[in-house]
Chain A
Amino acid sequence: MSTLRLPDLCLVVLVGVSGSGKSTFAAQHFLRTEVVSSDFCRGLVSDDENDQSATKAAFDVLNYIVEQRLELGRLTVVDATNVQVEARKSLIDLARRHHVLAVAIVLDMPIDLCIARNGARVDRQFGPHVLRNQSSQLQRSLRRLKREGFHRVYHLTGEQEMAQVLVAREPVWNDRRNDHGPFDIIGDVHGCIDELVELLEVLGYCRAAGEDAYSHPEGRRVVFLGDLVDRGPGTPAVLRLAMQMVRHGSALCISGNHEVKLLRALQGTKVEVRHGLGESLEQLRAEPSSFSDEVAEFLDHLISHYVFDDGALVVAHAGLPASMHGRTSSAVRAFALYGDTSGESDEYGFPVRYPWAEDYRGSASVIYGHTPVKEPVWVNRTLCIDTGCVFGGSLTALRYPEREIVSVPAREVYYEPAKPLGVDPRKALGREPGVLDVGEVLGKHIIETRLRHTVTIREENSLAALEVMSRFAVDPRWLVYLPATMSPTATSAQSDLLESPEEAFAYYAKAGVAEVVCEEKHMGSRAVVVVFRDVGVGSHRFGFETSSNGMVYTRTGRSFFGEEDLGQRFLARVRAGIEAAGLWDELATEWLILDCELLPWSFKAEDLMRRQYAVVGAAAARSLGAEREVLEAVAARGMDVTRAIEQLNQRIGDVESFAKVYRHYGWPVGSLDDLQLAPFQILAGEGSVHALRDHAWHLDLIKRLPEADPATFRSTRTAFVTLGDRGSQERGYAWWEDLTREGCEGMVVKPTQVVHFGRDGLTQPALKVRGREYLRLVYGPEYTDPQHLARLRTRSLGRKRSLALREFSLGIEGLERFVTGEPLHRVHECAFGVLALESEEVDPRL
């Protein structure tokens, strides 16, 4: 009994004349959905599986299905006669295009059997000449199949062999998904034996007693990224060490372009001896010739890339785009060995390499070497760790899954570089690392968030956000986070109020929250502050090379200070305050993102105050005053307008209160001393997202800022309320009343633990309870008129609340992605999403 071995992912091409039993064979050995049959496709397009006039359309459909399946990485079986070379060629091309191996299974059945089977079918009446014709085409094909490009050809003759055969699937060479490491991935060694030994020792490898191979006491393994050889002083020693480790099982090795060339030289092929090959050959000549044979044997078995850790890690000497991970074709091998080259050469005679990493959008981390860089920098989940040891740089390893970089410096320059080392790989690529692709933000998008599963951004919302983002927002590299909108509390049960604390307390109590914190709501402008510990320090973390103190931006991502120098000077104060409060050291970071309110409101909103609030105040005072004069004259004529005058006096009082409220939030800003920052959350710093830590933690740290610099920082008054404790809730209520009576906007009520899941899922992270007077700025100067209030009380919060949760989840997601070093486009997606959601229509008074 024979076994047909098929790679896990391949294109199986059945070859056999009509009636040879292809469909039956396919049904026995493959999933129904893995088989694409030409007859079935013919039926799809023409309602008749035997309509030969529909053959072209049917094969278009067949090819399309095959293409989609291969793209998704699914084994696919083509059930068609495939006796003609043209038919097979198009399938082989398809397989190549998707870097998938093609396997032919020839069902070579006696022609009479096929003719008999066809004759028995009522729906298909091919003349015997058709089958004979097919049969002779098949016979002619047999010898050439392997040459046509099939990876394997299985030839089954006769019914018996066909019936007994087994099909086994096996993983492809590069598939080590089940291998989870841990690994120490080492970049281009190029014969630098001393540095390699030193690096291995730093990494904790040693030679156990009686062993010649290095190994790690904790079972870690080395992955060599290729280019072990050439240029350096100790190619044979490096090879020996690597070969021992591979044999011992303490290392894996992939091939680099230098190994390929060395192998060809060792095998006797005439190659151009340059780029350090000469050194290797000379050094090898000093070794016994058996060693060269051993080396040739070793190199011959190196493959060009590996996929590890359930597909999360890919190693390839020169990198690999996502569409090639785990695939096999000569194109995959060429890319893995030489990178994204086009045949062009640069002024140093080196191949021009295209910046494939900039375009990389895969989910796997790709670790590669090949192109020496001064410092490894993650670009879209790719990392080049060739730090040019042989050119006097350093030898670098990446510890995986820890993602720590370990380097040892080169002891000397062993080989003069023909061209200068790239300072920053992104710069060498000649492209701004901040460049984003429009396809990643336009149209409908579904964003996975950790807190709330998925958030859907509808197309019409992304339309609006693209314009805001492009025309008004700061550089996307700053926009790690945009604050979420916040819902007000449900309408108060008290008839003369729209909002009061009871409803907020009740909401959280019902959700099962034990304690809330009430924070004074400052009336200023929302400001997200990105601040660095020192000029230039930390900015690289955001992808900038500027000497900047950071950035302050608004809730819609606009620069708070514009081009003004004032912003940088303000940030310098903020930075110094954080220093004085000891937070830099305590949080072990060189950058922080703070969520704040910046006061006064008039600094950013003076225009609004003038155009909207002052105009209304002035018009109302004049108009109502004049009306009162008229009514008083009417009264003097003896008509009874007492009630009307009373009403008017009430209105005049309301309008005066209105002006009092907005005036309270404005003061002229002549210098930095007039600005005040009220931080209420420390969103993130190096290595941690703080935004989900409980509010007591934040308040404790933040409290120290106004203590350190009371001129720059404004403190936020707070009160903790235990829900279910009537006394505590009453004290909370009274606290709010006191705050708002003196003109404060109101308060924000938050669950102390920040993230809370109740019966209905995620609980609102905050609810605002605004003061009765402040709400005049929102609902109109005279909204407290009972007639108006009665109608304003019906307001629907559902949409606002849903929006608040979606935006909150996106905000946190963006921070988490940024902190864990995800690529810009992944972080940007979240900020873009918040902006897009903000274009949803919601009552702006909420």
Chain B
Amino acid sequence: MLLTITTTTSPATDLGFLLHKNPDSHFTATLSFGTAHVVYPEANHDRCTAALVVDVDPIALVRARQSSSGAELALSRYINDRPYSTSSLTSVALIKAFSTAMGGRCKERPELVNRPLSLEVKMPVVSCAQGEQLVRKLFEPLKYEVEIHPIALDERFTQWGESSLFAMTLRGEVVLAHLLSHLYVLLPVLDDEKHYWVGQEEVDKLLRQGQEWLASHPERDLIARRYLRYHHDLVDQALSRLFDDESEDSTNGEAEQSQETSVRLQSLAAQRRVAVREVLRSLGARKIVDLGCGEGRLIKELLSEQGIERVVGLDVAHRALKRASLHLQLETMTPRERSRVELLHGSVTYRDSRLVGFDAATAVEVIEHLDPTKLGAFESNVFGFARPTTVVVTTPNSDYNSLFSHLGEGEFRHPDHRFEWNRQEFDRWCRVVADSYGYSVVISGIGDEDVERGASSQMAVFSR
């Protein structure tokens, strides 16, 4: 991994004083995952370049990760671009090699510490899956001129196109310590990964390195989110500490805006739950099983309904049930409340006697996650074997998809969807199922209704 810093502010060799590294010698520092070197490929009065070369030891890296992040055994831990592209490893090397400079101290040339210099940073391989746009959004507000060249994946397989890697040059009149802190924070943000566990101290690091510039950076939310690996509590904490001493209204506008989008995104799921609740309430269902309960959002709402005796959630993903257990706070429920809810690990493609004897079964946005070849098993297990009095099934209405600007032609709303039906297809399926298993069915829409394309989601209520 390589990064070079060049100054053309003469006397350029002052860079050596600022970085505390003599241009005529070779500096080496040992890192937990390898070795950092600083050498000078050029050092004269007009132009001086320091090169930070990091030799990453891939085996040491794997072993370090093994101890910190538990056992996630995938081959990607052994075959990856970590030794070659910029990442959080680069940040660690920066602070190890240039800690004095980053701290804004210089014994020999104290007057240079706060002076902007003409600086140029070159990185032959920067990794950023979001591409050039994000690179510019992060560095241009900091007054850099950004030059960026995509790197082809493999010249032998031209059809594969570009990689998520870039060769990048930043130029600007900037204080060296600031430049280093920008790199320190933003390289891992671009890469969107960290090689170590992110905890409380990361908030302090972010605020310390970003104190001069983060608060006014237009992408500060994104920076905080990615730097703190999407730990909501850490991100919230960092952002609120960041604005401790600022007036409140400077952030209000944006906060509202982002809240608005999230409300809109959540609304469909919430509307679905409301619709399902309404159905169950009107039918007076007392024992309900939620098939594919996920994190248990519907269960939580149903538990607050009076008259519901028992809610059982079933999911095929054991992890989802663990999250549901946390979300529902099963551990701290009163015995009476606890006796009303149960989470089961199981699968709608296997017959399950635990699902017999319910007034209603719900399958909210579940069937589209099943392979079409397994729908038959779902049908016979739910309608033929478990046979609740009512079955509520919701699924996206693909007619509506063209109204989603982010979806391309024929694209599904979720990468795991195996199919998305239009209203006609859903209607046909519902009738066949109802006929085969002796149910009657009523179909309706959920969510915003378009005159031509119908509602965003469709719901079938089967009864017998």
Contact = CB atoms under 8 A, between A and B. Distances in A.
B127 interface: yes
B345 A466 contact: yes
B151 A618 contact: yes
A464 B350 contact: no
Interface string A80-123: 00000000000000000000000000000000000000000000
- Give the secondary structure class of A's interface: helix
Interface stretch (A48-56, A529-537, A629-637, A734-742): A629-637
B84 A622 contact: yes
B374 A780 contact: no
Interface in B153-179: 153-154, 156-157, 159-160, 163-165, 167
Interface string A436-455: 11110110000000000000
B355 to A, nearest CB: 9
Nearest to A470: B347
Contact of B165 (A439, A619, A627, A639): A619
Given A623-B125, A626-B124, A844-B74, A436 B351 contact: yes
Given A612-B76, A627-B53, A666-B157, A618 B165 contact: yes
A439 B76 contact: no
Interface stretch (A263-271, A288-296, A427-435): A427-435
B239 interface: no
A620 B81 contact: yes
Residue among B43, B53, B354 with max Cβ neighbours from chain A (10 Å): B53
Contacts of A781: 79
A475 B73 contact: no
A442 B127 contact: no
Interface stretch (B132-140, B206-214, B229-237, B375-383): B375-383
A620 B151 contact: no
A631 B348 CA distance: 62
Interface residues of A, number: 64
B59 interface: yes
Nearest to A436: B350
A463 B377 CA distance: 19
A430 B376 contact: no
B451 interface: no
B79 A430 contact: no
Given A434-B376, A631-B39, A779-B78, A610 B351 contact: no
B84 A619 contact: yes
B334 interface: no
A469 B371 CA distance: 11
A616 B84 contact: yes
Interface in B47-96: 51, 53, 57-59, 71, 73-76, 78-81, 83-85
Interface in B224-278: none
B117 to A, nearest CB: 21
Contact of A615 (B165, B167, B370, B372): B165
Given A437-B352, A613-B79, A639-B26, A623 B2 contact: yes
A792 interface: yes
Most chain-A Cβ atoms within 10 A of its Cβ — which of B73, B164, B350? B350
A843 B159 CA distance: 33
Given A474-B373, A615-B153, A615-B163, A463 B318 contact: yes
A614 B75 contact: no
Contacts of B345: 442, 463, 466
Nearest to A789: B59
A842 interface: yes
Contacts of A438: 346-347, 350-352, 354
A77 interface: no
30 contacts: A431-B380, A434-B376, A436-B350, A438-B346, A438-B354, A439-B353, A464-B318, A466-B346, A466-B347, A467-B316, A467-B317, A469-B347, A470-B347, A612-B75, A614-B163, A616-B80, A616-B81, A618-B154, A619-B125, A619-B165, A626-B124, A631-B39, A631-B41, A634-B40, A634-B51, A639-B26, A663-B157, A666-B157, A782-B58, A844-B74
Interface of A: 430-432, 434-439, 441-442, 463-464, 466-467, 469-472, 474-475, 563, 610, 612-620, 622-627, 629-631, 633-634, 637, 639, 641, 659, 663, 666, 668, 777-782, 788, 791-792, 841-845
Given A432-B380, A466-B346, 11 more contacts: A435-B380, A436-B350, A438-B350, A463-B345, A619-B81, A627-B53, A630-B41, A637-B41, A777-B79, A780-B78, A841-B71
> Which 10 pairs, one residue from A and one from B, show the smallest C-beta to C-beta distance?
A633-B41, A626-B124, A619-B84, A438-B350, A470-B347, A623-B84, A619-B81, A614-B153, A438-B352, A463-B318
